[in-house]
Chains A and B, each alone.
Chain A
Amino acid sequence: MNRRSSIKSAILLGILGVSTLSIYKYRVLNIEVDLKRFYDYQKLIAELAECIIPKSDSPGAKEANVDQYIINVLINCTPIKEQHKFLDGLEYLETYTRDMYDKSFFKCTEKEKLDVLQYFEDRDNYNFSILNKINAKFLGQSFFNKLKRLTIEGYFSSNLGATKCLSYDYVPVNYIACKPLGLNQKSWATR
C-alpha cells in the first residue's frame, strides 16, 4: 500500500511538473536555436564526453572525435525542444560548477568533474523509469541523458571505439551460434 501510494504521488508530481513547465516554457522551447552555439560549447562537450568514456587501454571519447558527432546529431537530427534543453543544460552546468567550486569545469579535478556529472545524472532522472519515459516523451530527452546517449552512440560507432574498445567483425562469413566467451571478450560492435 505504501509503495503504491508513493508511486502514485510520484506520478502526480511528475505530471504536475510536466504541465507547469510546459506552460511556462512552451513558447521558448519552440523558437529556433542559434546552431552556432553548439560549436561555442564544443570544448566543453568534448570534456564531458571524455568523463563519460575516458581513455583507458583503449582511446577515449575525445580521441574518437565524439564531440563532433554529438554536435552533428544535435544540429541535424534533434528536435528543437531538445536542442534548447541541451543548451540550457550546458549553461546550467557551467553556472553550477562555478557556484560549487569557484572555477570552470575544465579546471576542476577529476573527482570534482565526476561529482558534477553525478549531480546532473541524479537531477535528470526519476527513480521510476516510467517517469523518465513520460518526461522524455513530452518534454524531450533530458540534458544528461541526451549527452550520455550520444556519447556512447558516437563512441561505439566510431572507428576507434568500434575497433579498439569493442570487437568489430566486418564480414563474419559464418554464424557460430554458441561459443564459449573468449578471454577478455569484448562485445560485438554491431548486431
Chain B
Amino acid sequence: MNKKVEDTYDAIVVGSGISGGWAAMELCKKGLKTLLLDRGRDVKHIVDYPTAFLNPWDFKNGFNNTNQDKIDNPIQSHNYSPADKHFYVSDKEHPYIQEKPFNWLRGYQIGGRSLVWGRQCYRLSNLDFEANLKDGVAVDWPVRYEDIAPWYDYVESFVGISGQAENLPHLPDGKFLEPMELNCIEKHLANSIKKNNEKRVLTIARVANLTRGWDNRGPCMNRNLCTRGCPYGGYFSSNSSTIPAAISTNNLTIRPFSIVAEIIYTDQTKKATGVRVIDAISKEEFIFKSKIIFVNASTIATTAILLNSKSKRFPNGLGNDSGELGHNLMDHHSSTGAMGIHNGFNNMYYKGRRPCGFLIPRFVDENNPNYLRGYNIQGRGERQNWEDRALNMKGFGLNFKNEISTPGPWSVWMAGWGECLPYHDNKISLSEEENDQWGLPLIKIDFSFKENEKLMMKDIMKNSVNILEAAGFENVEGFSYDKPGGSTIHEMGTARMGRDPETSVLNGNNQIHAVKNVFITDGSCMTSSACQNPSLTYMALTARACDFAVNELKSGRL
C-alpha cells in the first residue's frame, strides 16, 4: 500500500464540529498552519442550507420520514425530518454495534452537529467540578471552576449567548446578550415557583441565538428553523462562525472526506507525528504530519480513533496506560417530566417563534436523600395548535374547523435533564470481527442508565407534576419514556481528564498524559457529566487547551 506523505503542518485538528471549529480557529489565530480534517462533505454557510427557506407545503410528505428512511436509518430518522435529514449520517452506510440499545446520533460534515445542536449554553460550577471527589465517585476533575471561568468568558464573548443573569452560585452567569423573553404562561409558572419555594428559579434558556447583531451575524429572526442551518447566521455553528474566522487568517487548510484511521506515534520522541487518513471517496490513504494534534471527532469517534492507534508502546490504544480509554461513557437522561394545560390567560397570545424554552436550574440545598447529583428542568409554554389538538378534539366539520384553527389552551411541557454518573462498565470498544467499508473496526457501544439515574427520574416526575399542579395547571400528566442512552445527544466521557495517569487518559490541560502533543477537547474528556448542556464547556476547554498548547510549543516543550 502506497501511503503518500502529504504536507506537514503545525497543527492538525480532527473533526470540525463545535469543539473542532474552536480548535481550528484558535490555532490559526495564533499563527499555526492548521489542517482541519473531517470525514464528511463540506457544508458552506448559507449556500449549503437547501431547506432553509422552504415552506411547510414544499415538503411532499410533510415532515414525515419515508418508510425507506426508517429502514435505512432506524436511529437517525428518530431525530431528523425531511427538513434537516441531510445533516445526519446514514445508519446503513455507517453502522455500529449496540451491545445494549444506544442511539448514536451523528452528522458527518464540515460543522458536524453544530449545525443541528440545541444551542443551550450553561456553565458548570464547583458543585460539578468537586462532585466526584466529594462523593467518592470515579476520579476527581483536575480543574476547578476558577480555572475555566475566564475561558467561559472568552468563548461566550465570541459565540454570542442570550440569557438572563440570575446570580446563582451553582449556575454561574455568563457574558450575556439581552435575554429572550418568557411568555405569559411561563411568567406565571416562574412566579408560582418562586412563591412556593424561594430558592427555586425559572429563567429563560441561555442560548447561542443572537438577540442582536454580533460578529457580523444575526440577529435571530425567530423562525425556529435552526436545524436547517440559518441563512441569517442567527445562531452559532462552526460553519457560521469559527471556520470562517479561521479561514480569514489564511492559516487554515480544510480537507473534507478525510477519515482518520489512526494517530501515528513514535517512541523516539514519545510524541505523535501525524495521522493516517483514508479518503472517504477514493479510499486512498495519506499521511499528514504535524507538531500537535487536536482530536475533536466527537466523544465516541475520538476514542475509537485512539483505540485504533496501536503501537508497541500502546498496544491497547494511544495513551491508554490507565485502561480507562473507552470507559465511563455518559449521556444525560431527558425523557422524564410532566405536561399540563392551563385555562387562564385566555385573552393573551404571542407573536413569533422563539427558538428556545425555559430553564429551571438544579435544585440545591433541598433534601434528595436517595440519589447523587441532580437535574435541571427544561421546557416551554405555548398555546396548543392543530398539531396538539388533531386527535384530542373529537369531531369534524364546520365547528370543528373553526375551533381547531383558533389558539387552544395554554400548555407547558417540561422534562428533567439529569446527570449520569460515570460507570466503568458503560463503555465503547472496537469489534475484532466486523469492519466498515473503509476497513476500520466497527464500534461497539455498551451503555445503560442505572439505579441512581432511575431514582432521579422518579424524583423528576414527582417534582414536575407538583410544580405544574401548584401553578394551577390541569390534566397534569407525568411521563417517563424508557429511551436508550444517546437520545439526549450529550454523550461524553471515554477519555476522561484526571490528576493521575494511572486512572485517567488526559491531564488538566486536555493533554494525553503520556503523549504530550495530542489534545482531546471534545466530550470525551469529561470526568463527570453534570446536568448542564455540555457544548459550552467543550468550547471553553478547547480554547484553554489551545492557548496552553501554543505556549508549550513556543517554549519548546512540545
CA distance A117 to B392 in the complex (A): 16
CA distance A181 to B406 in the complex (A): 10
A187 at the interface (CB under 8 A from B): yes
Task: Report B-chain residues with C-beta under 8 Å of the C-beta of A189.
Answer: 56
Q: Mostly helix, strand, loop or mixed at chain B's interface?
A: loop
Q: A residues 163-191 with Cβ under 8 Å of B?
A: 165-166, 169-182, 185-191
Q: Is the CB of B385 within 8 A of A169?
A: no
CA distance A130 to B222 in the complex (A): 36
Q: Assuming A72-B61, A156-B386, A175-B180, is B401 touching A170 (CB within 8 A)?
A: no
A159 at the interface (CB under 8 A from B): yes
Task: Report B-chain residues with C-beta under 8 Å of the C-beta of A114.
Answer: 396-397
Q: Assuming A117-B396, A148-B390, A191-B382, is B401 touching A178 (CB within 8 A)?
A: no
Q: Is the CB of A159 within 8 A of B401?
A: no
Q: Assuming A175-B351, A181-B348, is B224 touching A191 (CB within 8 A)?
A: yes
A47 at the interface (CB under 8 A from B): no
What is the count of residue pairs linking A and B with beta-carbon distances less than 8 angstroms? 149
Task: Report A-chain residues with C-beta under 8 Å of the C-beta of B197.
Answer: none
Categorize the interface residue count of chain B.
35 or more
Min Cβ gap B80→A in Å is: 13
CA distance A91 to B187 in the complex (A): 51
CA distance A153 to B222 in the complex (A): 23
Min Cβ gap B355→A in Å is: 9
B268 at the interface (CB under 8 A from A): no
| Among B56, B65, B350, B401, contact of A56 (Cβ-Cβ < 8 Å) | B401
Q: Is the CB of A190 within 8 A of B56?
A: yes
A134 at the interface (CB under 8 A from B): no
CA distance A156 to B346 in the complex (A): 23
Q: Is the CB of A51 within 8 A of B397?
A: yes
Q: Is the CB of A172 within 8 A of B221?
A: yes
Task: Report B-chain residues with C-beta under 8 Å of the C-beta of A125.
Answer: 394
Interface residues on chain A, number (Cβ under 8 Å): 51
Min Cβ gap B29→A in Å is: 33
Q: Is the CB of B396 within 8 A of A52?
A: yes
Q: Is the CB of A187 within 8 A of B66?
A: no
Task: Report B-chain residues with C-beta under 8 Å of the C-beta of A187.
Answer: 383, 385-386, 404-408
Q: Is the CB of B65 within 8 A of A188?
A: no
**B residues engaging A (CB < 8 A)?**
55-57, 59-67, 180-184, 187, 221-224, 346-354, 382-383, 385-387, 390-391, 394-398, 400-402, 404-408
* 11 residue pairs from A and B, CB less than 8 Å apart: A69-B62, A145-B391, A157-B62, A159-B57, A169-B352, A172-B221, A172-B223, A173-B352, A175-B352, A177-B183, A189-B56
Q: List 9 tightest A-B contacts by C-beta distance, closest first.
A: A172-B352, A175-B352, A177-B181, A157-B56, A77-B64, A52-B396, A176-B351, A172-B222, A152-B390
**A residues engaging B (CB < 8 A)?**
51-54, 56, 58, 69, 72-73, 76-79, 114, 117, 121, 125, 145, 148-149, 152-154, 156-159, 162, 165-166, 169-182, 185-191
